[in-house]
Amino acid sequence: MPDFELSEDYQDLSDMVRDFADTVVAPVSAKHDQEHSFPYEVVSQMAEMGLFGLPFPEEFGGQGGDYFALALALEQLGRVDQSVAITLEAGVSLGAMPVYRFGNEEQKQQWLPMLASGTALAGFGLTEPEAGSDAGGTKTHAHLENGEWVVNGNKEFITNSGTDITKLVTVTAVTGTSERSDGSVKKEISTILVPTDTPGFKAEKAYNKVGWNASDTHPLTLQDVRVPEANLLGVQGRGFANFLSILDEGRIAIAALATGAAQGCVDESVRYAQERQAFGHNIGKYQGISFKIARMQARAYTARLAYYDAAARMLAGKDFKVQAAIAKMVAGEAAMDNARDATQVFGGYGFINEFVVSRHYRDSKILEVGEGTTEVQLMLIARDLGL
C-alpha cells in the first residue's frame, strides 16, 4: 500500500520515467502533434523500458508491479506529452487489463505477453454513437452461430484501435435480453475479444481532434465479424459490470495523467516567469503572476493527493469507486484550469503550438470528458452521499 511519501522503488521508477519524458518524449512532441503522427519510436522505447507491463505478473511477461506504479509513470509522461501518456494508459488499463482481470488462463497466455511487452496494443470497445455516458444503451449485438460469435455494430472514440501494432479490441455487445419484474426488457451485455485482422472488422478514418493529436483514435465498424465462441471474455452477461470496474480503475490512471499535465503547466510557468522580463523585472516578481502560479501548484498538489489516496485504497482491497471519481474530477479540472492559467502567463507564446502549454490547453479539455465526464463523477459522488 503506497504512502504519501514514495518508497525508494516507487521514487526510482518515477525518476526514471521523468528523465525519459524530458530527454526522449519532449523533444519530439511538437513534431508529432503538428503532423498528427503516432510516435512509434517513443512507444517502442517505452516497451523496452517495461512500462506496458508495469502492473502485470512476471508469468505473463509483466514487471510484477502494481497499478500505483503505472500511475506514477503516467504522471511523469503527462507532464510533457498527454498523447504519449494516454497511449500507455489506454494500452494498459483499457486494453490489457480486461484480459488480465476477466480472461481465462488460455486467453491470458495468448494475449497478455504481447500486450505487456508493448509489442502489441489493444483497444477498449465500449463507446458507441448513441451510447457514451449511458453505456448501457449499447446497440452492437452478437449471437452464436455454429460455434462462433457473429458481431455487428459500431464503436466510437476508441483509443489505440488503428495503429500498425494494434492486435485486439475488446468489444461490448448485446448477446441476449431478459424481462424485468416490471415487464421491461433488460439487455444482456457481454464482452468479446476481436482480433483486428478478423474479416469484417474495420478501423475507420482517424478523427481530426482538437488535442491528443499524436494519440490514435478511430471509429470502428464491425460487419458480420466472426470469432470463436471461446473469445467470450468472462461470464456471458457480465460484460457491462466488468467494464464499469475497469473504468473505476482507469479513473485513477487518468487522474495521474491529469496531475502530470497540471504539474507540467506549473513547471513551465515557473521557468518562463523566471526568464521573461517586463518593466525591468522577471515577471515572476509580480504578484499577478506569482500568485497565479501558486494557485496552479496548489491544484496539482491536491490532485496528486487525491489519486494517491484512491490508489492506496485500491491496492489495500478497499472500496475506491468514489475516491477514484473524486480524483478523476479534481485532477481533470486542475489540468484544464492550470493550462488556461499557464497560457495566460506565457502571453502570446502560449498561443503558439510549439510551446507545451499550448498543447496542454488543447489536450486537457478531454480530461473532463473521457473515461467518464465530470458530470458522471459528480453523479457517483452524490449517490454515495445518499442524494
Catalytic residues: 371
Tell me whether strands 166-179 and 121-125 are parallel, antiparallel or unpaired: parallel
Q: Any idea what the Cα angle at residue 380 is, between residues 69 and 97, rounded to 5°?
A: 35
| Surface-to-core class of residue 41, CB atoms within 10 Å of its CB (0-12 exposed, 13-18 middle, 19+ buried) | exposed
In whole angstroms, give the CA distance from residue 82 to residue 257.
7
Among candidate residues 363, 369, 376, the one with its CA nearest the CA of residue 87: 363
Any idea what DSSP says for residue 162?
Answer: S
Q: Judge whether 243 and 135 are in contact, CB under 8 Å.
A: yes
Q: Judge whether 374 and 380 are in contact, CB under 8 Å.
A: no
Among candidate residues 286, 273, 290, 266, the one with its CA nearest the CA of residue 339: 266
Any idea what DSSP says for residue 100?
Answer: H
- How far lies 263's CA from each of 19, 254, 302, 303, in Å? 15, 14, 11, 10
**Count of beta carbons in the 10 Å neighbourhood of residue 138:** 23
